[in-house]
Chain A
Amino acid sequence: MKLHQMSPEQLEERRRRGRSNLTWMLVVGTFLLVIAAPTMIVVFFGMLPTLVAYIIDRSSQKSATFCVGSINFIGVFPYVMDLWFDFNTIDAALNFVTDLFAMLVMYSAAAFGWLLFMTMPTVVASFVTVLQQRKVAQLRGEQKKLIEEWGGEVAALVEIERTEQREHHLEDGVSGMT
């Protein structure tokens, strides 16, 4: 549902839930920062492109965030592993985030994620469109066969639904005016 379609009560509920989520995130983040501060430093700086993707991705699905985030995390994860298996200190973490090569790896992964998200959906959409067209053609063919076998009356239910929709639309239109 779009924002402009929401009632004031719904909008207020949405805002309240948003504030609640932010509170929880701050609590969990603070907790993780206390118990795993090096990991959190690397993840925060390494995953900045994902944060950007999250901010600029206005879709409800957040597909770009997931795509960029997943690939971005592939670039960040080896350094997190290094922290966990070698020196899990804040200095080590700061070394990673100040290492240009490491950051290049992390941000390149994110860039690959972006590249993937920018190219692949169009290709997939073309496939989907073709599949849908084939599906429509197949359904139309089935309907044609039904009409050949049973005559035009077989579409009576559909016609009734359409008529009802039209009536409903007209009634709505009139009631909207009044």
Chain B
Amino acid sequence: MANALDEAVETAEPKSDVPSSPTEEGTVVLSPPAPPPDPAVATETPAPKPVPSGNGKGFVSTGIPIPNRNTAPADAANHPAATLKNRYLIFPSMPLTDLDTPSASAYSVEDRREPGRHLFALICTPGLPTRTRTMVDLRSQVVRGLIPLVDFGPVHWSPLGQSCQVVILERPLGGRLLDAFIDKPLKINEYDIGRRLFEPLAKALAELSALDLPHRAIRIDNLYYMDKDRTELVLGECVTAPPGYDQPQIYEPLDRAMAIPAGRGYGHTTDDIYALGVIGVFLLLGYNPAAKASNEELIIGKAELGTYQCLCGNERIPLPLIEPLRGMLSDDAKERWDTAAMEQWLSGQKKTPIQRRGVTKPKTPYKFAGRDHLTPRTIAFSFSKNVADASKAIKSGKLEMWLRQSLGQPETADSIAATTAMTKVHEGSPDGSDDILISKICMRLDPQAPIRYKGFAFMPDGFGAALALEYLRKGNFQIPGEILARDLLGYWFACQSPITPDLSAMDRSFIALRNFAKINEVGFGMERCLYELNRSLPCQSPLLQQSYVDHIDEMLPALDAASEHVDKRSRPIDNHVAAFIATHFKFDIQPHLKALSDSKEETSLIGMLSLFALMQWRLSKTPLYGLSSWLGGLLHPAIGTYHSRATRRAIEQEIPTLVRQGSLPELFDLIDNADRRTKDRADFQSAQLEFSHAEAEIQSIIGENIDQEKIALQTGERFTAMVGIVMGMVSITVIIFVKAM
């Protein structure tokens, strides 16, 4: 598991915020899941080889970013086929590298019910959050223009030695769109591009938009032909990685491109249309016009010139396509074409041209980090990369002066002055650090941009996936925790204008998350935030390393299975398990969590047992022998809460019987029976009183201040006096009788 986790981290590692060179971007690949890991696979693009069908190497000269694919087959003898839902056989020994995605490896699949069906499986990267809810929607809905998703679920993947999410898709018989250009230039002329590219994909996007499902993985290497004749072009899968995670930066709108891959956010259909516009430019020109620009240059170019101008400014774009591309590549999401506008254009109707609004030019450029900046957006972007220099620049007051005098934005200057002053007030505390100051200043300068803090850049709707990946990489929640604690999300929302209902709802949900993060109890904290934000994320507990638990129903069986290979002295619950249960279990478990967090071991154990018992009662009636045995072995301190030794012995003797039944509710009833506990308490109080009375009596006889001999003697004297009196009375009576007779 550790290796697999490391692999997953390594896989994510090259997806840095801004790759250092444009060639890197196109060569980020998924580490092969087959052990032993081959480091060579995850390296940079090797030299082009002749006609490597489908792996993209043939298109290196075009500058279009295309991932390399090379999954090594696993040994069939050691790695038998995995079975999903007792229906789909997935063969580790038969990889389909042509169908690999950056985050998932493709393998052959056989459908037991329909043996002739053309399917393939994508094995997702373990630990990487997948879009499970989207999978559910796409499994039940047929979306024309999207590769059909047949089924999905976790399987035990022997090459990785752990359970992984697998997605079964219909196999595109015509291969990738790129495969159609193996023996000819990668270009579609202006007359065909509408019919061959935009029309089928716009329809697919319209259907996805109706389902409120942004695709967020539209790139040239993710387009397929479903038929052998290559007439039916479809979008590839979009569910094996977080939204936008697999996208090279060029396909992302400016704001989302500035975020780390995992933090690009759920997005909207307009973001898909932007990506479609980029593909359109590539296919129209036959190459990437921005291939020579680094990612940083690309972002600055897009910010200063606009995307269309940046990509097509020096190119010859056919006149009928200028307006559509300008609409699709608009940097203002509100102005950008939506699916209705696409439909209108494709049906031949004219659309009102987008008004060109140039960026407000400053009187003089602002010099920072060796560059002349013309817009606050690029300044914010550069500030986030050079925090120490940015802090000096802000504190010197030059930025404020430039905004007032050169750019004519006194409101922005005022807000920056206020933010700087507020940070000075908190100097010495975490709220007054340079990182916080720069993060807030960047939000003021570029409110649409992602939140950027210590290199962790994310859109608010991408915080969940970014948080998950950050945890996956570093094993802690340090930076996301600081972001929540410093309320940078709240600051971002405060910078937005206007505040839409969507933004308000998101702000409220983050306030709730912040409250969760503040609570330092089991079932809360950052783990709770992780699962609240990533509801399809499998439980990351080390206890469940070999399982894939992404649904509450699977938790108890997984713990039951885990009981076979864990140290039984450890508890079957940790922060991850508790947070996962608190997130997914729909019943009120606050009292259980409260007890679980109690500092007293026995209370905590009873809280844990009651929680699991409730779960078994509500979710599963199947016996849990392993978990019962595991819990039964830990319950000694809980049994100790009974005062009566006889009751304790009776409970200890009964535990094995209940363990053999596998019933946690029965076990809980045995340990924490209300009647038994009440009786025990009452009897104990009686026993205490009895003991106290006995002690009082003993002290009255042999107490510290009591002279036992003297008391005995006094008793003797009293007794003697009584004897004397009785003798006197008897004698007098006898004398009277004698005299009287």
A interface residues (Cβ-Cβ under 8 A, vs B): 59, 61-64, 66-71, 73-74, 77-78, 81, 85, 113, 116-117, 120-126, 128-129, 132, 135-136, 139-140, 142-143, 146-151, 153-158, 161
**Once bound together, how far apart are the Cα atoms of A149 and B647, in whole Å?**
9
A81's contact among B645, B713, B735, by CB below 8 Å, is which? B735
B192 within 8 A of A: no
Q: List 19 A-B contacts (CB under 8 A).
A: A61-B718, A64-B717, A66-B724, A67-B724, A67-B725, A68-B724, A69-B728, A77-B735, A124-B716, A128-B716, A129-B708, A139-B697, A139-B698, A150-B645, A153-B684, A154-B688, A155-B688, A155-B691, A157-B688
Residues of A within 8 A of B725 (CB): 66-67, 70
B728 and A78 contacting across the interface, CB-CB below 8 Å = no
**Once bound together, how far apart are the Cα atoms of A68 and B692, in whole Å?**
42
The 5 A-B residue pairs whose C-beta atoms are closest, nearest first, are A121-B716, A70-B728, A124-B716, A67-B724, A125-B712
Complex interface bits, B705-738 against A, C-beta within 8 A gives 1, otherwise 0: 0001101111111111101110111011001100
On chain B, the number of residues with a Cβ less than 8 Å from chain A's Cβ atoms is: 41
**Once bound together, how far apart are the Cα atoms of A139 and B687, in whole Å?**
13
B694 and A142 contacting across the interface, CB-CB below 8 Å = yes
Instruction: Tell me how far the C-beta of B76 lies from the nearest C-beta in chain A, rounded to whole angstroms.
Output: 63
**Once bound together, how far apart are the Cα atoms of A61 and B709, in whole Å?**
17
Residues of A within 8 A of B137 (CB): none
Residues of B within 8 A of A126 (CB): 712
User: Which residue of chain B is the closest to A131 with respect to CB atoms?
Assistant: B712
Known: A78-B735, A143-B694, A143-B695. A122 touches B716 (CB 8 A): yes
A74's contact among B692, B695, B731, B739, by CB below 8 Å, is which? B731
B47 within 8 A of A: no
Known: A85-B739, A143-B694. A149 touches B646 (CB 8 A): yes
The interface residues of chain A, by DSSP majority, are classed as helix
Known: A143-B695, A157-B691, A157-B692. A132 touches B713 (CB 8 A): no
User: Which residue of chain B is the closest to A160 with respect to CB atoms?
Assistant: B692
Complex interface bits, B631-669 against A, C-beta within 8 A gives 1, otherwise 0: 000000000000111100000000000000000000000
The interface residues of chain B, by DSSP majority, are classed as helix
B702 within 8 A of A: yes
A136 and B698 contacting across the interface, CB-CB below 8 Å = yes
B643's contact among A61, A135, A143, A151, by CB below 8 Å, is which? A151
Known: A116-B723, A123-B716, A151-B643. A74 touches B688 (CB 8 A): no
**Once bound together, how far apart are the Cα atoms of A73 and B643, in whole Å?**
63
**Once bound together, how far apart are the Cα atoms of A129 and B707, in whole Å?**
11
B487 within 8 A of A: no
Residues of A within 8 A of B567 (CB): none
Residues of B within 8 A of A151 (CB): 643, 645
**Once bound together, how far apart are the Cα atoms of A116 and B739, in whole Å?**
27
B332 within 8 A of A: no
B728 and A125 contacting across the interface, CB-CB below 8 Å = no
Residues of B within 8 A of A129 (CB): 708-709, 712
User: Which residue of chain B is the closest to A78 with respect to CB atoms?
Assistant: B735
Instruction: Tell me how far the C-beta of A13 lies from the nearest C-beta in chain B, rounded to whole angstroms.
Output: 26
**Once bound together, how far apart are the Cα atoms of A161 and B696, in whole Å?**
10
Residues of A within 8 A of B689 (CB): 157
Residues of A within 8 A of B732 (CB): 73-74, 77
Residues of B within 8 A of A161 (CB): 692
Residues of A within 8 A of B695 (CB): 139, 143, 155, 158
